[in-house]
Homo-oligomer: A and B are copies of this chain.
């Protein structure tokens, strides 16, 4: 499923203006990588983006895709799902709980809230599938990282 043309164009314009402001060169590769991700509602990984961009730009390389994605992330033009460059982390807390995650150091703490445990989801979510669990993820900067 794709984003409508107007929205894609707005995103492209924003991307170009940020690159100019930051004096980052608008290469073919960057334009196509950004367009690819700006264009779709799924949340592809680096390899998928590589394969899709490749169709239009057959000489692009996977490492350029990686470099571009992290650059775009640093520029605030995209975000990552889950706490980015991290490995899988495990959690033996089976009670309903929520997470605070530090964007800088990865520090993560559980917090509890019966109110959040019962948040009402919009009807549109039901049409996506069967819901198993809902939890809130708070991103921020932890005490420790603020102080340093």
Contacts and interface: CB of A to CB of B under 8 A. Distances in A.
Interface of A: 11, 34, 37-38, 41-47, 49, 69, 72-73, 76-94, 99-100, 102-103, 107-113, 115-116, 119-122, 124-125, 127-146
Contacts of A43: 89-91, 108
Contacts of A139: 131-135
Given A85-B88, A91-B80, A129 B108 contact: no
Contacts of A137: 134-137
Contact of A134 (B127, B136, B144): B136
Contacts of A85: 88
Given A100-B129, A120-B115, A146-B130, A88 B45 contact: yes
- Interface SS of chain A: mixed
A99 B81 contact: yes
A140 B136 contact: no
B91 A81 contact: yes
Given A41-B110, A81-B90, 4 more contacts: A81-B82, A81-B108, A112-B122, A116-B119
Contacts of A124: 111
List the 7 closest pairs (A to B, CB-CB), nearest first. Answer: A82-B82, A129-B142, A43-B89, A45-B87, A131-B140, A81-B89, A78-B92
